[in-house]
Structures are given as structure tokens and as C-alpha cells.
Structure 1
């Protein structure tokens, strides 16, 4: 069987996500909408600003009343106050964000005036409309400011609040059953027997899934037994995805692929990626199953580049590709490979430096790194040549 290229695997996963049963909509308070995905367009219910206001602390006046002569101050307007109409031939003391009084069309900042005997002296020429934010200057009522499928973050939540939204319509969270596979796994805090290791992938993925915005169902550790594998998979009724780690290679105790072949559908297996080649994808009794390799670095890379985009698309996000930048390589890569490689790296002095230990079983290198460098199939590198780099902050958000 030939290995599946990374781009093809991703496109097939995204197609699976698009074909999934649509998630239900739900209304949530604004304070609970961080990381959620809008299920409908966010429209502007009112002009913003809702009325002309001052962009400066200063004095508001009718430009036609300014003839190089001083004007008396007829009122003082603070932000949040409703002003009186401006008396002809006067100006108003005004503060940033305060509404312009009817009749005023210009503001002069306080630094450019002199105040004597209750009159304001304008020391330089005034431009009509200067320092005035017009009604609807930012957005007009009825405009779309965020499209359905937008993921809400601090800026988007602030925008929604500025428009008066207290609640938002979003897609419900994707329900993910998280399974770890392997008799060798032990949860942290318990004693290790000979041949056993602590289960790091569970903590890695549980935190990451929650950051993505999923509802996580902990399905525990799946032993190396085909019947128990079937039983645990069958118990995940109501989940949108079963995400497992381990048990996807070709060893005699790797049963996930076998069970999917026998009682479900196997749609993806063996990718042209390093680390992460044994990734497996299919369905068990209609529920999508994504089996990530058990080695921690392989888990990290395949979740970041394949599982995370799948989940985001399932949530309704359209632009799911992580943003990559080109940087000079601070290393050489003399031997080309047949698989797409992702190396744990960090940026130093504008160059990508790779960790000396790229073993798929090591997480320490990922903790050292601040991103991944992509090495394309068949490519060699000389130090200084450009490589693509994706920040872990981009992938973990």
C-alpha cells in the first residue's frame, strides 16, 4: 500500500467533517462564548458610533461661527451625557467620546486653544469636521461584521459587546471520546510495574481538545485486546468523534485498524508524514474514529496538522489551515526523505533552529520548541535557505 500524502489526507478528513451530521445550534451568554463558533452571521443592530462624537478632549463649535475670534463656552459635555443644542455663536467644552451637540460640526483639541475670561481663543485655523467621529463611521446598522463560522476570541467578543449583544447563537461543542490504547500505560500518580510508562498523551490531548473548544469524554485506557477494543468503541454512543492514541501500527497487539476493518470502515491508513506515519481514520458503527500514533511527538504532530483542522471544520470553521511563515534555516538537511517531515524547532535570531533529538517518543523537545519546521519530500537544505515554520502558539490556540 502506498503512503497517502499529507495534503490528500487532510482534504479527505475535511470532506468527512463536511459530510458529518450538522451540529445543533445553541444560544450562550457572551461571557461563555470564548472559543465558540458562530452559527449565524453577526449583524449590526445600530450605527456605530450611534451619534457624532468627539475624538478629542477640546471644544466643539459650529465651523461657520469661527472667524478667528474667541467664542464663549455655553456648556460642558462629558461622555455619557446628552447635550443641549449648541447656542449660536458659542462653543462647548467636550471630552473624548462625548456626543456632539446639535449645531456643532467641528472640534478643536484643548492643546490648541487659550482660555481667558470664559472665552476660547483658537490659535490656528480650523478644518471643517476635524476631530469628529461621524455617526456610522465604523459600521452601519444591518452590516455583517462577523460571518457564520467565525470563531469568537477576545477581539470578536469585544466587538459583539460594542454592538449590544448579550447572547450569541453558536454551534454546540463537538463531543470527543478520548481513548488511550496500550497495556503499558499507567496514569500519573500510580506506581509503575516493569515495562509500563505514564500516559502523557491523555493529558496532552485533553487540554488541547478543550482549547480547541471540544467537549471531552474520557473513555480511559483501552487494553490490547480486540474484544475490549470493540466494547469500548461501542460504548461511545453520542460522540461526534472517537479519538484514540496508540494501537494503530502493524504490531500483533495493535487492534484498532483490525476492528475498523472487521466491524466498521477504514478510510485512511499510513500517511507520508514523519513522525506520524501509522495514523488511522475510519468509522465504527457510524461514528468517525481517528487513531493517532502513540509516540508523543507523533501524537503532537498528527493532532496539530490533521485532527485539529478536522475538528475546527466540524465546528463550522472554514479557514482551518495553520498559518505558516518562511524563515531562514539555521541548520542543514543533507539527506532527502520520502515523507513530509515536521521537526521540533524554535526561532533564534530570525532563524529556525531544530532540536538535536527528533525522536518520536520524546516530548522534551516539544517543550523546548516554539514551533515546527516543515521539510518537504525529496528536499535537502543548506543553512540559510528558506523553510516553512508554524508556531506552536498558532497550533495550540
Structure 2
């Protein structure tokens, strides 16, 4: 992959949009595969799915009660109940063994097929439950008890035709479009596919994202810190963010500042990666291990591969890297190591890349306009697009925490980012601003 652009080089300052466009014009949706339903959860459908069989496939009862003819319960009341002969039971999943004739009823369960001759269902609450009872004035008998009758039931209310009956095809009809291509398959969509009898479905798989953080100072959470050490938070944050974006994400333990070790680690991970994300080691320091390991990938070993390290006109997140590694040219995004810079960079660049791999049309977080709520003006460096952590309430948005790119606690409270354009040096209280919604 050739990521070079006109005028590119170590001194070129890329805009946010240029860097993002380079990523999205390079990353291509993953090839479709056939998956079992539960394995397809979170994936994007690549075919229109039509209904082969109407739902429900037959008229059935929406209540536990009695299947009756409308004429037999017309005018029924508490004082003058209709007394009907019960000719059998119909359970859900069983074919109707009876036909309901004049003066008859069949005990029926929710979901059971409406028997021939029946026109409505009266809920069991409208009856005496077939238990009989003391003396009561009754309507004239509907019929003599037929052979095989199992007792009688007293119905205290009349019912209209089709009352408490789920009609065949009332959900979807055979030939209807069930789901459109491009649909993300969540639990309700999986339920519909199962209901219409689909055991597998053709989708673009969820991207496999490998997350690697770098730094000899990083220690696994739960382990004791020694002098100069900190716990590794970036790999956890980025792995969680990748999963939130729809990916299957794999976290790799922090790699020490050694170029050979990092290069070997990434090579080992390529077998399960559609995208590699690193954090740290992309600046201009003496131990910027990611640049050292990946900036000079041999064209002889991996023709066309390589990672371009750039400076972006943004704050936080100025140092970035993008390119490909390995024989399959697996995309790699190298993010800065400061926690806030790393996370904001993920939201702006990695999340859209993941969504593009999934084949989604809309890859970006939603953006809205809001009124800035702050006690004093906010300064911003000219020529840089600044992203401020913020908390949105209704139509207002307020900055959260300071500007330091190490302030994780403020990031944990934020649900939005305020976007300060490159040509804006100050925001005043009450200004209308653009806001990226994070949740």
C-alpha cells in the first residue's frame, strides 16, 4: 500500500480530513461469508432476505381460554352465561383434533391453532374455567352434549369474530422482505431470521482487531508498580473501543521498547488480524519503538507494504501512523501513547476504519450543534483542530477536565467531544459549537 501523498514527508503537516480520507480510501470491506445465526450477531447482512413462510403460519390463539363460535356467546353475561359443551383440549404445537360445532367449545392454549368451526377465543378469565358452579340463570341450551364431550364451561361475555386470534400472516407474509442488505444483525434481527427458518445468513464478518500497546514502563493492571512504572490502560481502552465499534478485538500485553520484539509480536498476530492498532512510540523521542520497527519495512520482504508516520494539525493526537504490514497488507494504525490522545485518535480514525471493514455506509459518530456552557473563554491554537472532552446536557455542552492528554478521569466522565476548527482561536460562553457524540 502506497500511503504517500503529494508533498508528504517528515515536515508536512497533514489535516485531520486528509489523514482520514487516506485511511478510508485504502481500507476495503471484508469479503462476505456464510455464518450460523449466533455467529452472525453484530455483522452486516449482504443479501436481501425474503420470507419463505408466513408468520404466524396459521391462525392461533393469543390467550389461554376457549375457542368458540360467535353466535354461541352472543349476549352472554354474568347473569346469563352461555353454557357450552367442552369437546377437547388444544395445546400449542399440536394439530387441532376437534371441530367446534354449534353449542360447543374447545379448551385452547396460547399459540395453539384455532380449530375448524371456531371463530373467536374467549379468555379463561371470561369463564368459570370449566369448573361448573352453583345454580345460575342460563341462556337457552345451544345443543345437546355430543359424544366425547369432556364437560361444560360457562362464558360470561360475548366475543366478536376473530377476537384474541392471531391471524395467519399478521406478522409477515410469504414473499415479504424480511431484512434488507446492509442491516446490522442484532438480537431482534436474529430472532426474525430464526422465526422464518433461516439457519445461516450471508454477512460481512466482524473485523478482527489486534491491539498492541508499547512502553517499557507499562505494567499489567493488578500487578505492583515499581519506581517509574504505570499501569497499561491504553490497550484496555482501545480493545474495549474496538469491541464497541463492532469488532472482535484481541488485546496483546504491553511490549517493551524494543523494535525487534515489537516487529516479531506484530508478525505473530497477523494470522488473526484484519486490522492492527498500536499505541505509543510514534513521536520523535529516542525510544519511539513503533517508528523504529515499522517505518522502514523492506519492499523486498513485503512489496508495497509500509507505514507512514505523520504530523497532524490536531490537538491532542499530533503524531499518527498509517500503512500496512505483512504479506496480506493488513492495515495498521499507529496512535500516540498519551491516553486521551490515543482514545480520541481511535474515535476519529480507527472506529471509521472498523466500520468500513464491516461494510457500513455510515462509519462516523453522529455530530450535533450545541451551545457552549462555560464560565470563561476557551483558547485554541490557530491552525490546529482541537477536540475537547465534554459533557452534553440537552442542547448545551460543557468541557470536562483540563487540556492535558494524560487526564483519564475527565475522559471517563465525558460523553462528547467539542470540535474547535483550525481557524478558531477562542470560544466564548454561549457560542454554538460542533459536538461529536461518543455514546
TM-score range, shorter chain: 0.7 to 0.9
Corresponding residue for residue 145 of structure 2: none
Work out whether 1:87 is the aligned partner of 2:118.
no
Work out whether 1:360 is the aligned partner of 2:360.
no
Corresponding residue for residue 357 of structure 2: 314
CA contact (8 A) 1:222 1:232 kept: no
Q: State the Cα distance separating 1:134 from its structure 2 match.
A: 1.5
Equivalences for residues 143-154 of structure 1 within 5 A:
143-154=176-187
Deviations 1:287-314 (A, max 9, x none): 2110111111122222233212312321
CA contact (8 A) 1:279 1:291 kept: yes
Q: Distance in 1 between the 2:73 and 2:165 partners?
A: 16
Work out whether 1:157 is the aligned partner of 2:198.
no
Q: Distance in 1 between the 2:107 and 2:429 partners?
A: 65
Corresponding residue for residue 419 of structure 2: 375
Give the alignment partner of residue 131 of structure 1, picking from 154, 164, 169. 164
Corresponding residue for residue 15 of structure 2: 4
Q: 1:340 to 1:154 in 2, by over 3 A?
A: farther
Work out whether 1:278 is the aligned partner of 2:319.
yes
Q: Distance in 1 between the 2:340 and 2:371 partners?
A: 24
Unaligned runs of 5+ in 1: 393-397
Give the alignment partner of residue 435 of structure 2, picking from 372, 385, 388. 388
Q: State the Cα distance separating 1:390 from its structure 2 match.
A: 1.9
Corresponding residue for residue 299 of structure 1: 342
Q: State the Cα distance separating 1:355 from its structure 2 match.
A: 2.0
Work out whether 1:254 is the aligned partner of 2:297.
no
- For the pair shown, which has the larger CA radius of gyration, 1 or 2? 2
Q: Distance in 2 between the 1:250 and 1:67 partners?
A: 88
Q: 1:368 to 1:217 in 2, by over 3 A?
A: closer
Q: Distance in 2 between the 1:335 and 1:9 partners?
A: 26
Work out whether 1:218 is the aligned partner of 2:262.
no
Q: 1:330 to 1:95 in 2, by over 3 A?
A: farther
TM-score in terms of structure 2 length? 0.71
Q: 1:268 to 1:183 in 2, by over 3 A?
A: closer
Q: 1:99 to 1:13 in 2, by over 3 A?
A: farther
Q: State the Cα distance separating 1:51 from its structure 2 match.
A: 1.1
Q: Distance in 1 between the 2:366 and 2:67 partners?
A: 46
SS at match of 2:112: coil
CA contact (8 A) 1:249 1:278 kept: yes
Q: Distance in 1 between the 2:428 and 2:100 partners?
A: 71
Work out whether 1:241 is the aligned partner of 2:275.
yes
Q: 1:87 to 1:15 in 2, by over 3 A?
A: farther
CA contact (8 A) 2:92 2:113 kept: yes
TM-score in terms of structure 1 length? 0.78
SS at match of 2:388: strand
Q: State the Cα distance separating 1:334 from its structure 2 match.
A: 2.7
Unaligned runs of 5+ in 2: 1-11, 77-81, 130-135, 139-152, 298-304
Q: Distance in 2 between the 1:98 and 1:203 partners?
A: 50
SS at match of 1:360: coil
Q: State the Cα distance separating 1:94 from its structure 2 match.
A: 3.9
CA contact (8 A) 1:78 1:98 kept: yes
Q: Distance in 1 between the 2:400 and 2:155 partners?
A: 66
Work out whether 1:122 is the aligned partner of 2:157.
yes
CA contact (8 A) 2:44 2:359 kept: yes
Corresponding residue for residue 345 of structure 1: 390
Equivalences for residues 47-196 of structure 1 within 5 A:
47-63=54-70, 67-68=74-75, 70=82, 72-74=84-86, 75-83=88-96, 84-88=98-102, 90-109=104-123, 118-123=153-158, 127-188=160-221, 192=225, 194-196=227-229
Instruction: State which drifts further: 100-109 or 356-365.
Output: 100-109
RMSD value over aligned CA atoms? Answer: 3.8
Matched residue count: 384
CA contact (8 A) 1:219 1:232 kept: no
Corresponding residue for residue 395 of structure 1: none
Corresponding residue for residue 79 of structure 2: none
